[in-house]
Amino acid sequence: MQLPNYQPDRYQSLFADKVTHALKTLELPDAPEPERFESLPSGFRLRAEFRIWHDGDSLDYVMFPPGDSRNPQRIDAFPIAAPRITDTMPLLKGYLTNSPELRRKLFQVEFLSTLSGELLITLIYHRPLSDAWHECAVGLADHLGCQLIGRSRKQKVVLNQHWIEEAFDVEGTTFRYRQPEQCFTQPNGGINQKMMGWLLDHTPTHATDLLELYCGIGNFTLPLASRFQNVLATELSKPATEAARWNADINNIRNVEFARLSAEEMTSALSGERPFRRLAHLKQPLDQYQLNTLLVDPPRAGLDAATLSLASHFDTVLYISCNPQSLADNLKSLSNTHAVTKLAFFDQFPYTHHLESGVILTRRSA
């Protein structure tokens, strides 16, 4: 099976259609003309996962149509994936086919790659992983030159390390990132760099501080740190927070503090509703930060009511959204206090209906 929506010859028109639909959804008659950032038409996706379909001693990568879990479609080619993934897929399939130990009750394969060509593969099983599996897996990792993890119920076997390293060039500076397995990372590396650059282009240097919610592994945190006196960034995931601290340290960025809090908890802390021990490590008390700018990159559901209320008190809100509908709902809530001064669309997911948006909101004059 080839991907049914993969139409590289129509890429630009498909992107244009998505932008048109997003503009209708957002309903922003006074917004500036949006900037549009195209993706590569192929080889852009740095993450991929496939179910494994067994037929006797052979196996195939398969995917299921949306809403149809009983109709596996064999994947013969996956041209949207990064070259490191597409080059490895047939090699991995051949090795697994010839290894009864590695293919037995193998359920799923996950790939995580980088622009720099590193690769991490996770093999997921419906059985415990034994010493025999470990020995065979070491040979597979050496053969493919990648990091390898095995997973089964209540078991995780890491052969060497559970992360890979990425490098992004943004405005002449290279930022290194540790990307752990199962932590969220932007799937389209080229578009991610464009989002970083767009935020920097429209964020002048401030003598104040930045609050970032949903910071993940520090993807936007690190480049934006150069624009502010201090940055306070929050993320609920413990592995992502740990990676963010490592990323700031390896890039020699010293004006960022990370806190493992949800957006709701951070809102509660700033309002003085309750103290959090997870903020005790901050170099200065929370009320001494000059938090005039807010950066959010929320999940598809967008911002909750409490966080929207918090955002309404900031002079500037930098909003990265993966869902135009929830963004539209949030912008309606913020329209009384803020105006959209910059708008951009980033084609993070070509050949799908998904579209990434960037919005900069500025507080209206009293």
Residue 38: what pLDDT?
98
CB 307, CB 279: distance < 8 Å: no
Strand runs (DSSP E) across 278-363, as ranges? Answer: 291-296, 316-321, 338-346, 356-363
Question: Domain 8-41+165-363 carries which CATH code?
Answer: 3.40.50.150
Residue 4: what pLDDT?
65
Measured distance CA(296)–CA(94) in Å, rounded: 43
3-class SS shares of the chain: helix, strand, coil, % to 5: 30, 30, 40
The topology (CATH level 3) of 47-162 is OB fold (Dihydrolipoamide Acetyltransferase, E2P) (2.40.50)
- The Cα angle at residue 113 between residues 108 and 117, in degrees rounded to 5: 140
Measured distance CA(304)–CA(310) in Å, rounded: 10
Measured distance CA(77)–CA(65) in Å, rounded: 16
CA atoms within 13 A of residue 299's CA, in its CB half-sphere: 7
Q: Is 214 left (phi over 0), alpha (psi -120 to 50) or beta?
A: left
CB 258, CB 245: distance < 8 Å: yes
Residue 275: what pLDDT?
83
Annotated catalytic residue: which of 136, 146, 183, 322? 322
Residue 165: what pLDDT?
97
Annotated catalytic residue 181: no
Backbone angles phi, psi at 82, to 5 degrees: -60, 150
Measured distance CA(256)–CA(253) in Å, rounded: 7
User: DSSP secondary-structure letter at 236?
Assistant: S
pTM of the predicted protein model: 0.94
Alpha-carbon torsion, ordered 281, 285, 287, 293, to 10 deg? -50
Q: Where along the chain do the CATH 3.40.50.150 domains lie?
A: 8-41+165-363
Residue 231: what pLDDT?
98
Within the chain, which residues score under 70 in pLDDT?
Answer: 1-4, 366
Count Cβ atoms below 10 Å from residue 147 Cβ, excluding itself: 20
Measured distance CA(150)–CA(105) in Å, rounded: 12
Amino acid identity, position 188? N
Measured distance CA(96)–CA(137) in Å, rounded: 10
Q: Where along the chain do the CATH 2.40.50.1070 domains lie?
A: 47-162
Measured distance CA(345)–CA(99) in Å, rounded: 45
Contact partners, residue 272, CB within 8 Å, separation at least 6: none
Classify residue 158 by burial, with Cβ atoms within 10 Å: 0-12, 13-18, 19+: middle
Residue 329: what pLDDT?
97
Annotated catalytic residue 356: yes
Amino acid identity, position 36? R
Residue 65: what pLDDT?
84
Measured distance CA(154)–CA(11) in Å, rounded: 42
CB 166, CB 177: distance < 8 Å: yes
